[in-house]
Amino acid sequence: KPCDQNRHALLMELVDGTLLNNITALGDPEKVYRRSLDLMIKLGEHGLVHGDFNEFNLMITEDMRVIVIDFPQMVSTNHPNAAELFSRDVENLANFFHRRFKVTTLFYPTLEKNVERKAELDRVVFASGCFSSRQQQDLERLLQTQLTAQDEVDSEEEDGQEEDEEEATTLSGNASVDVVSAGGTNACGVHAADGSEGEGQAQRHPPGEVGDDDNGETSSVARSLDEVVDEAAIERRGQRQQNVNFNPDGTVNEEYVRSQVRRNIRRQDNHQFNLGLHRNVQKGRQKQKIRRQIKQGMSNGFFD
């Protein structure tokens, strides 16, 4: 029985038995042979042919019970080659029992005469050949229809998510515009003037200074622009410092560049040395091989 599964690996229940190929003597080999055939026929009655029913896939317990293992190559009894595979399994098993245990009263069942289908286990496990060509086409068409429907559902969900994101972006943009308008400041840092300067005039503050609007609130647009510029300059300096080929002031770090050049030269020299050493070792091995062959020939009287 299966106990656990992980990806392509399947953990099976421990079988308290011995592989038939490892058994050299049986108390009643004819009984074991008959039980093996009964198991093969029982599989056929459920719509399956093992396809590799031999001594390497049969385990025998102490009470002479037969357990079959290794099922990946199973096919349906409706498979075009099912009868041939069934007869081959019977013949291989009979030859083994005759060769190993000297069993002479052998029974050779066939799929057409000795197997009567009683169940459809092959359809449950989707064994090869369980469906006709037309049924296989219908099944593939059904699976393709389901995949297409699932793709349509996924695309609709993605479109809905994109629309939600666009709406959220639009709402956030409108909210920012409302906040700027309420503060009395436009994107260029222009504030509404008081009544003393006349209607429609505006008071412009130089960058970095703080201006007050009609409500006495402080505007920080110009200051924010300066902060952004300063942060960008600091980031550029940090990126320049991260490059070890340059000094913090932007000049080339000649010492580091020279050390890297020397390192590359040493690496190339070591590579060439290793290649030469390998060639010398190979030549030495060939010479030793020739010496051994000559010495062996002399000891065998080859040069006499």
Annotated active-site positions, please? Answer: 52
Q: 3-class DSSP state for residue 107?
A: coil
Tokens of 145: 């229809």
Asked if 282 and 276 count as a contact pair (C-beta separation under 8 A), the reply is no
What are residue 76's phi and psi, to 5 degrees?
A: -80, 155
The most distant pair of C-alpha atoms in the chain lies apart, rounded to whole Å, by 131
Q: What's the Cα-to-Cα distance from 203 to each of 34, 82, 188, rounded to whole Å?
A: 108, 96, 12
Return all residues near 177 (Cβ < 8 A) that are at least 6 apart.
Answer: none
DSSP β-bridge partners for residue 19: 59
Residue partners of 136: CB distance under 8 A and separation at least 6 = none
73 CB neighbour count, 10 Å cutoff: 14
All residues at 6 or more sequence positions from 4 whose CB lies less than 8 Å from its CB, including other chains: 10, 11
Torsion (CA) 182, 188, 191, 197 in degrees, nearest 10: -150
**Distance from the first to the final alpha carbon of the chain:** 71
Rounded to whole angstroms, how far apart are CA atoms 201 and 194?
9
Q: Specify the 3-state DSSP secondary structure of 291.
A: helix
Query: What are the distances in angstroms from CA 154 to CA 142, 158, 171?
Result: 19, 6, 26
